[in-house]
Amino acid sequence: MSEEFELDTDDLQRRMDGAMANLRTEFASLRTGRASASMLEPVQVDAYGSMTPINQVGTVNVPEPRMVTINVWDKGLVGKVEKAIRESGLGINPQLNGTIIMLPIPELNEERRRDLTKVAGQYAEHARVSIRNVRRDGMDQIKKAKADGMSEDDQKLWESEVQEMTDSYIKKVDAALETKQEEIMQV
């Protein structure tokens, strides 16, 4: 017989928390018609020979609800920052004012809102898949321990614990998706 099996549920939970954090970051990048500095987080600028986040080449501000400004620190990067924003797929048309790039956030039309809810749904599905992959890893560890002599009762106990954890995280993803879709569809 083997020594007592102990599943590292903290590791599984940490990895599921990581999937949720990633989902929140992706949701924050979705434009809902309100200006937010976080909507620029996924945009990378080719600065000094490497891809750099916008917030590392300038100061990002939200002076009013429908405007984001970027005060670029290096004049030579203004064009590259503008190009990165245009090519990012955010649907925002940057306006230059010296080293300051202004991003007016237009109202979303109904079609664009529906598209964004679909994108939010895709992000949520990626999070669910990540959580299920963590679940699968946990179940594989349990199966390996079963092969090494763990009792069937212990196996069922651990499997139900992993499944409960997975179910709770899937519910969190679904709740976050529902909230984000309501936010997007709000006019």
Neighbours of 92 (CB within 10 A): 19
Task: Please give the share of the chain, as a percent, with pLDDT higher than 90.
Answer: 40
Domain spans of the chain, in order of start: 9-27+109-185, 34-104
The pLDDT score that the predictor gives to residue 107 is 77
Cα pseudo-dihedral 153, 156, 162, 165, rounded to 10: -90
- pLDDT category at 26 given cuts 50, 70, 90 is confident
Of 35 and 10, the one with more pLDDT: 10
Q: What is the pLDDT of residues 114-163, one digit of tens each?
A: 888 888 999 999 999 999 999 999 999 999 988 988 888 999 999 999 99
Under the banding of pLDDT at 50, 70 and 90, the label for residue 93 is: confident
Checking if the pLDDT of 31 tops 70, the result is no
Looking at residue 33, its pLDDT comes to 64
Closest CA to 101 of 116, 117, 121, 84: 84
- Mean pLDDT in residue range 70-99: 86
The pLDDT mean for the chain works out to 87
Q: Could you give the C-alpha distances from 100 to 23, 34, 57, 72, in angstroms and in order?
A: 30, 20, 12, 6
- CA-CA distance, 73 to 133, in Å (whole number)? 42
| 167-187 pLDDT tens trace | 999 999 999 999 999 888 876
What count of residues does the chain have? 187
Res. 7: pLDDT tops 80: yes
Pick one of 2.40.30.10, 1.10.3480.10, 3.40.630.10, 1.10.132.20 as the CATH number of 9-27+109-185: 1.10.132.20
> Is the CATH number of domain 34-104 3.90.1300.10?
no
Rounded to an integer, the average pLDDT of 18-34 is: 82
d(CA 149, CA 21): 37
Judged against a pLDDT cut of 50, whether residue 2 lies above it is answered with no
DSSP string, the chain: -PPPP---HHHHHHHHHHHHHHHHHHHHHS--SS--GGGGTT-EEEETTEEEEGGGTEEEEEEETTEEEEEESSGGGHHHHHHHHHTTTS----EEETTEEEEE-PPPPHHHHHHHHHHHHHHHHHHHHHHHHHHHHHHHHHHHHHHTT--HHHHHHHHHHHHHHHHHHHHHHHHHHHHHHHHHH--
Instruction: Indicate whether 3 pLDDT > 60.
Output: no
